[in-house]
Amino acid sequence: MNGEFLQAIEQICKEKGIEKETLLEAIEAALVSAYKKNFGTAQNVRVNMDRDTGAIKVFALKNVVEEVDDEFMEISLQDAMKISPNYTLDDMVEIEVTPKNFGRIAAQNAKQVVVQRIREAERMIVYEQYLEKENEVISGIVQRIEKNNIFIGLDRTEGILPANEQMPNEAYHVNDRIKVYITEVRKTTKGPQITLSRTHPNLVKRLFEMEVPEIVNGQVIIKSIAREAGSRTKIAVFSPNKDIDCVGACVGQRGIRVQQVVDELNGEKIDIIKWNDNPKEYIANSLSPAKVLDVVVDEEDKAARIVVPDNQLSLAIGKEGQNARLAAKLTGWKIDIKSQSQYESYIDNKEL
């Protein structure tokens, strides 16, 4: 333990972003434990490392008393005054007890502490790096599959894609490169725990942001997303600039932009609809690709009755009710769909 050791500590602290004094205090605390363990003592001790030379000294701390009951913890006033005439009762006396061979033990323990603190610092750096990326999309490589959980290799760490965050129509294989959405970053003793998703609606949002510059610069705004992962997504968009076709911007020339998102989502169908502050128009748009004849809204209950042509009823409802369900999720309105003949019959019966 010498000046070169301190220089090495200083260099490590700069590279790893660790406070030098914090590291030295941790080394001193570890050396206290090492001293007690190796020399079988119950003494109250303090270890001091000289900040300039690296020299290490061990001091026994003893309380000044009139009569000594515990020689490890106490010293008589008479003996204390031999060290310094200024000591009085209840003072704490420090007596150097540095063993001759303590340097080797100190070096070994100091190395362990430094390695441990470096690991902790690196874990903290990775944690903070990914905490900033929470709610963002990143690329990763499938590393392994354990108990239906997929472990994704990321830069300097790995994340977990739980079974409930995996798309039902996807098969995952080791070395596959995929885009994932970071839902949560938690600090643990083993480093950051990063939870990923392929099913989150915001994955679709972030993918569109990557493909559509107008979304990034604020010319097109994503107002709402409703998703049944692996099957279908509806996304409502709006532009504050009347000269911009918000749906066309998201679709892209010959559909290239939306196709990039569809490909990344393994063929998931995407309906891009125009948001409108008029509930009737917005709800009608939300049922795309079905054509809507009329929308009757109940503002108080936020419920809407939609009338579609007879040949469009199954399209409006969708397979197993999916289209209607997603439209309701997207708009936040309860939706009841009727064919034109059903609605006319309903009106006639009501009049009767």
The CATH number of the domain where 117 resides is what?
Answer: 3.30.1480.10
Expressed as residue numbers, the domain containing 50 is 3-129
Give the residue from 129, 152, 185 where a domain finishes.
129
Q: Which helix (H) or strand (E) holds 331?
A: helix 322-331
CA angle 193, 197, 202 (to 5 degrees): 120
Please give the backbone phi and psi of residue 251, each rounded to the nearest 5 degrees, phi first.
Answer: -70, -45
CA 229 from chain center: how many Å? 21
96 plus 148 within the same structural domain: no
Where does the pLDDT of residue 352 fall: very low under 50, low under 70, confident under 90, or very high at 90 and above? very low
pLDDT tens for 278-289 read: 999 999 999 999
Burial (0-12, 13-18, 19+ Cβ within 10 Å), 303 = middle
The CATH number of the domain where 150 resides is what?
Answer: 2.40.50.140
14 plus 108 within the same structural domain: yes
CA 145 from chain center: how many Å? 21
pLDDT tens for 141-163 read: 999 999 899 999 999 899 999 99
CA–CA distances in Å: residue 220 to residues 209, 243, 253, 280, 343: 10, 11, 16, 22, 37
Give the residue from 146, 176, 197 where a domain finishes.
197
pLDDT tens for 48-86 read: 998 888 888 999 999 999 999 988 899 999 999 999 999
Cis peptide bond N-terminal to 309, omega within 30: no
Give the residue from 232, 247, 275 where a domain finishes.
275
pLDDT over 70 at 232, yes or no: yes
Q: What is the mean pLDDT of residues 308-332?
A: 96
26 plus 76 within the same structural domain: yes
H helix and E strand count, the chain: 12, 15
238 plus 285 within the same structural domain: no
Alpha-carbon distance of 193 to 149, in angstroms, equals: 14
Where does the pLDDT of residue 351 fall: very low under 50, low under 70, confident under 90, or very high at 90 and above? low
Where does the pLDDT of residue 253 fall: very low under 50, low under 70, confident under 90, or very high at 90 and above? very high
Burial (0-12, 13-18, 19+ Cβ within 10 Å), 95 = middle
pLDDT, greater one: 42 or 129: 129
pLDDT over 90 at 5, yes or no: no
Q: Looking at the 3D structure of the chain, how many domains does it have? A: 4
Q: What is the mean pLDDT of residues 297-316?
A: 95
How much of the chain, in percent, has pLDDT values that exceed 90? 70
266 plus 155 within the same structural domain: no
121 plus 91 within the same structural domain: yes
Alpha-carbon distance of 9 to 26, in angstroms, equals: 12
> Contact, 238 vs 214, CB < 8 A?
no
